[in-house]
């Protein structure tokens, strides 16, 4: 049913079903539509604006964008700016719901962006988060487990102040099932999955108003993408990793993964574990900061 692709980091390069992230898109949309139709919680529909439908539209576009990339192998200049289209329903939601336009930054305090929050900050959040999440992958479990950690952290933070976390209960359970299969090398979520979950994280953070927590949680993603883009820009070289004797090793530092494996042969499972721990640490920092902010 699904196209198969070779698992590049396994002996014999066995064929694995790819693109199963589209199942997450379908399941998430059904869950969110059910919340809307059955008017679960007060956020179902306020002044004609619906949080579940807004989130569903964004996830659907993320999945569609990923499918385009799988089919057409989109160039990065298109992938970088396409998520801006999905920012439109979020801008409409934020304006209609009178979402807070300020962001509390550590050591700086509250910065109010005013109208620029709607037309500049929201599109930037969507564009940056969606693309950085998509750029950290390529290993069994890496592109599914790490986003799940971030999303679970944001849901926990949201639960401290609102009920928006309920929007993601069904979708995150289904995504974790896909993540378990992905970790075992049974499936790949593909670009449809990585773009959809990246769009989910960005959209949920904006709707639930956990923007600073999002920024802290995705620091490893930002580091990885910055390293890749700066290397390509200045040296025109890509991050590469060698597979030998069931281990992976790199001779350069052009991404988060190649930095971890720099002259240090590691198995695929260890690489995924290390990156997941790094993401977990920053997500826990985001949770701790949010909790302390509430107490203060």
Asked whether residue 166 carries a pLDDT value surpassing 60, the answer given is yes
pLDDT of residue 102: 84
pLDDT in tens, 93-129: 998 888 888 887 766 777 888 899 999 999 999 999 9
Residue with tokens 């609102």: 162
Residue with tokens 């989130």: 55
pLDDT of residue 264: 93
pLDDT of residue 279: 98
Question: Domain residue spans in the chain?
Answer: 4-211
pLDDT of residue 82: 83
* Residues whose CB falls within 8 Å of the CB of residue 40, separated by 6 or more in sequence, listed in order: 34, 166
Secondary structure (DSSP) of 220-271:
HHHHHHHHHHHHHHHH------EEETTEEEBSS-SSHHHHHTBT--B-HHHH
pLDDT in tens, 239-278: 888 888 889 999 989 999 999 999 999 999 999 999 999 9
27: closest CA among 162, 133, 176? Answer: 176
Query: 275 near 257, Cβ under 8 Å?
Result: yes
d(CA 240, CA 246): 16
Which whole number is the average pLDDT over 177-196? 94
Residue with tokens 């569609």: 64
Q: Which comes out higher in pLDDT, residue 156 or 49?
A: 156
259: closest CA among 244, 246, 245, 278? Answer: 278
Across the chain, mean pLDDT equals 89
How many other C-beta atoms lie within 10 A of the C-beta of residue 295?
6
64: closest CA among 22, 104, 11? Answer: 22
pTM of structure: 0.94
pLDDT of residue 91: 93
d(CA 188, CA 20): 6
Asked whether residue 203 carries a pLDDT value surpassing 90, the answer given is yes
**Residues of the chain above pLDDT 90, percent:** 61
pLDDT of residue 240: 86
Asked whether residue 3 carries a pLDDT value surpassing 90, the answer given is no
Query: 254 near 231, Cβ under 8 Å?
Result: yes
Secondary structure (DSSP) of 212-231:
HHHHHHTHHHHHHHHHHHHH
* Residues whose CB falls within 8 Å of the CB of residue 108, separated by 6 or more in sequence, listed in order: none
């Amino acid at each position: 049913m699904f196209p198969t692709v070779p698992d590049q980091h396994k002996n014999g390069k066995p064929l694995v079903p790819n693109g199963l992230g589209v199942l997450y898109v379908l399941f998430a949309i059904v869950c969110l539509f059910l919340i809307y139709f059955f008017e679960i919680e007060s956020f179902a529909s306020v002044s004609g604006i619906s949080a579940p439908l807004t989130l569903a539209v964004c996830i659907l576009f993320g999945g569609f964008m990923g499918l385009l990339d799988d089919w057409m192998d989109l160039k990065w200049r298109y992938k970088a700016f396409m998520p801006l289209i999905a920012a439109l329903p979020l801008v409409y939601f934020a304006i209609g719901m009178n979402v807070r336009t300020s962001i509390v930054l550590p050591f700086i305090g509250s910065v109010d962006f005013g109208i620029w929050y709607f037309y500049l900050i929201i599109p930037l959040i969507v564009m940056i988060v969606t693309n950085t999440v998509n750029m950290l992958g390529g290993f069994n479990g890496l592109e599914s487990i790490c986003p799940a950690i971030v999303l679970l952290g944001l849901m926990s933070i949201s639960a401290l102040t609102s009920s928006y976390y309920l929007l993601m209960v069904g979708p995150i359970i289904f995504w974790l099932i896909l993540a378990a299969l992905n970790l075992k090398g049974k499936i790949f979520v593909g670009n449809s999955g990585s773009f959809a979950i990246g769009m989910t994280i960005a959209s949920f953070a904006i709707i639930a108003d956990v923007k600073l927590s999002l920024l802290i949680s995705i620091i490893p993603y930002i580091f990885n993408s910055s390293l890749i883009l700066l290397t390509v820009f200045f040296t025109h070289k890509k991050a590469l990793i060698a597979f030998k004797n069931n281990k992976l090793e790199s001779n350069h530092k052009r991404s988060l993964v190649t930095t971890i494996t720099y002259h240090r042969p590691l198995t695929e499972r260890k690489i995924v574990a290390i990156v997941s721990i790094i993401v977990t640490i920053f997500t826990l920092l985001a949770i701790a900061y949010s909790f302390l902010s509430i107490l203060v």
